[in-house]
Amino acid sequence: MRLKTMLKNSHKYQFIILELLILFTIIYSTSLHLIYDKSETRITTRYYWQKLPANYMPKKFFDDIGKFHQYKEQLKVSSKEWTLFSGDSRFYLAQTIEQSSGKPPYKYRILPTSIAKLIKHILNTSYYKAYLILNIILLTAIVLIFRDYLLKLGFNHVTTLFGNILFVTMVTTTNTLILPMLEIFSFFWMILIMISIQRENVLLFIFSSVLGVMTKEILLVASFLWIFHNLSLRNLFSSMNFKTLIIASIPGITFVLLRYFLGGGLAEVNYGYNLLEGEFPKGYLNHFLSWNGFIDTLIAFFCAFSFVWAGLLNINKSRFLAKSSLAIPVIMTVIILLSGQKTRTLGIIYPIIIPLFLFYIDSYIRNVANSNSKEKLITGVNSHE
C-alpha cells in the first residue's frame, strides 16, 4: 500500500528534486563558486580583511565616538583564522573560536556560534568550513519549508519555484552564504515563525521565536507579527487577547534574559548602549536625518529586494500577508535607529515581500493557461467543422 502511494506521488517528488537541482545550480553560480576563488568577486571582498577608511563612521554622526572605537578594539583570540575576515564576519568567527571574545550585540547571538563550534569539533574541520556547512544545510531546509509555505498561500508548484529562485538570488543570500554570518540562520527561524503564525501553532512559534532571538535580535519582530495576527480590537480586554500578549512577550523575555545571564544591561543594544540608562547610538539616526544619509537609506532599502518591492501593490490579495506587512514599518524603523547594515538586515522580511510579488507571476501563468485553453477549444471547433 505504501509503495502504491509513493508511486502515485512520484511526480511530486520528481518536481521537488528538479526544483532543488535548479536552485542549487543558481546558488552555485551566484555564491558557492566563490569559495574557490575569492579574487574574482566584487560581492564579498568587503568581508575579507581590508583596512577600513578613516571616515568609516564619521564623528559628526556619533557624538560619543569614543565608545564606538572602544568597542572596535583589537580582538585577542588563540586562533588566527578570524584575521582572514573583516566586518561582522570577523567578530562572529572570533566569538566562535572563543566565546569570551564576544562584544555586544554579537555576544548575545549565541546559538549560531555554538552550533558552528560543535560542527567544527564533530567534523574536525575549520571554523569557516563549519559555518559553510551549516549555511548550506539551513538554506536547503529554508527552500523546502518556503516551498510548503507558498503552497499553503495558494500558489502552484511552478510559482513556488519562482519564489525560491527570488529567495536564493536575494542580495543578502548571495552576499552571506559562504561567509561566517548569521543571515541564513535568521532566515531559517523567520520562515518557521511565519509558518507557526500561518498554522496557528503556538508551540512552534515559541520554539522558533526564542531560538530566533538567540540568533539575532531583529527576530523580536516575531512579537509584533503574533500581535498583528491574533489581537482582537473588538474585545481588547478579553482572555484571548491576554493570552496573545503573553505569547507575544516570550521573545522579549528571551532578549532580556540573554543580557542578564551574559552580563549586560537588560536593554543593551549595539556596542554596549543600554536604553534603560538613557544611552542610545544616535549615529544611525543622525546619519538618516542628513540628506545624504536619507538617500543612502532609500537606496539600501531598495537594494534589499529591488523591483520585487512592487509586490506591495498586491497587498489586498492576501489577508495573511496584509497583516504580516504591518511589521515592515516596525522593522524599517528599528533598522534606521540601530543598524549599519540596512540592506542585509531588511532581507528578513522575504516571507512577506516575495509572496506578494508572486501574485504577478501567478496571474500571468493563469492567463497564459486560459489563453491556451481557449485556443485549443477554438481549434477543436474549427477542426470539427
Per the structure, the complete domain to which residue 353 belongs is given by: 69-380
- Its pTM stands at 0.83
Is 349 contained in some domain? yes
Helix (H, G, I), strand (E, B) or coil at 268: strand
pLDDT range class, residue 375, cuts 50, 70, 90? low
Structure-model confidence comparison of residues 226 and 79, the more confident one: 226
DSSP secondary-structure letter at 232? Answer: -
pLDDT tens for 81-115 read 656 666 778 788 888 887 766 677 888 899 999 99
Residue-level pLDDT at 60? 41
Which residues, including other chains, have CB under 8 Å from residue 241's CB and lie 6 or more apart?
231, 232, 235
Residue 279 grid cell = 544611552
pLDDT tens for 179-207 read 888 999 999 999 999 999 999 999 999 99
pLDDT range class, residue 67, cuts 50, 70, 90? very low
Is 64 contained in some domain? no
Residues in the chain: 385
173 has pLDDT over 70: yes
Q: What is the DSSP string of 50-116?
A: -PPPTTSS-TTT-TTHHHHHHHTPPP--S--GGGGB-HHHHHHHHHHH-GGG--TTGGG-HHHHHHH
Is 18 contained in some domain? no
Is 24 contained in some domain? no
Is 84 contained in some domain? yes
Number of domains in the chain: 1
**Rounded (10°) angle between helices 327-338 and 282-289:** 100
Is 313 contained in some domain? yes
Is 250 contained in some domain? yes
Is 6 contained in some domain? no
Structure-model confidence comparison of residues 107 and 371, the more confident one: 107
